[in-house]
Amino acid sequence: MSFLSQNASTILTLTIEHLWLTASAMFFAAAIAIPAGILLARSPRWARPVIGIANILQTIPSLAMFGFLLPLPWLGDRAARIAIVALTAYALLPILRNTYAGIRGIDPSLVEVARALGLTSRQRLFKIELPLAASFILAGLRTATVTCVGIATIAAAVGAGGLGELIFRGVASVDNRLVLAGAIPAALLALAADGILGLLEKLTAVKQ
């Protein structure tokens, strides 16, 4: 107990840092991957190569990814920048893939009727396609968020902070309490994100 009370403010600060890293990365990833997924759904011949690239990004081991970004100008100046860029890269694939699949998966007769009714391309997107694909897109965001909360712990390796710092410190000093002080809040964050986004996903699901 005394361990907790001694470290409470550190844990809190690092949790907020962790959240901040993940949330920023999710913001950028969504801002890139949702529009990209929409574009791919409109011109599916690009889907394979583009999703392929996102797939490759996903396979880079996270420690290596942070390492690659370290020597880059501007990015390398601040560890948080590296962390956010790396996390964004990991979050792209699930969001991109789900946005694409969600829109492509809409019943073709609905898409045809939307065209035949004379909806403009923008009206089709906002009134029909996005609402019908919303739960898919949210499922992608959920997968991406949970992954990112986990990977963000590695960001401490390049000094970006976050709960990983406690884990790394704990490993270095063979102190399991420190490891758990980082791992448990990280796991709780992941569970919370999963729960909240899962709920949103359920709320936006269109009953057929």
Partner 1 sequence: MTTPPPTPAIHFRNVSFALANGQLLLDRISLSLDEGTTTAILGRSGSGKTTLLRTVNRLLDPTNGEVLLSGVNARDRNLIALRRSIGYVIQEVGLFPHFTLERNVALVLEAESTPLAQRIRRAHELLTAVGLAPDTFAGRFPRQLSGGQRQRAGLARALAADPPILLMDEPFGALDPLTRLEMQQMMRSLLQRFRKTVLLVTHDLDEALYLADRIVLLDSGRILANLTPQEFLRSAQPEVRAYVQAFRRALPADPATAPPTQEAAP
Contact 150, 91 (CB under 8 A): no
> Quick one: which of 8, 31, 113, 184 contacts partner 1 (CB under 8 A)?
113
Residue 155: partners with Cβ closer than 8 Å, 6 or more residues away = 21, 66, 79, 82, 83, 86, 87, 161, 162, 164
Measured from the CB atom, the residue of 73 and 118 that comes closer to partner 1 is 118
> Quick one: which of 117, 171, 196, 203 contacts partner 1 (CB under 8 A)?
117
Contact stretch for partner 1 (CB under 8 A) within 49-57, 140-148, 176-184, 200-208:
200-208
Measured from the CB atom, the residue of 25 and 128 that comes closer to partner 1 is 128
Q: Does residue 207 bind partner 1 (CB under 8 A)? A: yes
Measured from the CB atom, the residue of 48 and 115 that comes closer to partner 1 is 115
Q: Does residue 77 bind partner 1 (CB under 8 A)? A: no
Q: Does residue 123 bind partner 1 (CB under 8 A)? A: yes
Contact stretch for partner 1 (CB under 8 A) within 60-68, 80-88, 112-120, 145-153:
112-120
Contact 133, 106 (CB under 8 A): yes
- Contacts of 152-157 with C-beta under 8 Å, sequence gap 24+, read 152/18, 152/21, 152/22, 152/25, 152/83, 152/87, 152/186, 153/18, 153/182, 153/183, 153/186, 154/62, 154/63, 154/66, 155/21, 155/66, 155/79, 155/82, 155/83, 155/86, 155/87, 157/63, 157/66
Measured from the CB atom, the residue of 130 and 187 that comes closer to partner 1 is 130
> Quick one: which of 119, 179, 180, 200 contacts partner 1 (CB under 8 A)?
119
Q: How far is the CB of 193 from partner 1 (least distance, A)?
A: 26
> Quick one: which of 1, 116, 172, 174 contacts partner 1 (CB under 8 A)?
116
Q: Does residue 107 bind partner 1 (CB under 8 A)? A: yes
Binding residues for partner 1, rule: CB under 8 A, are 107, 109-110, 112-120, 123, 127-128, 131-132, 206-208
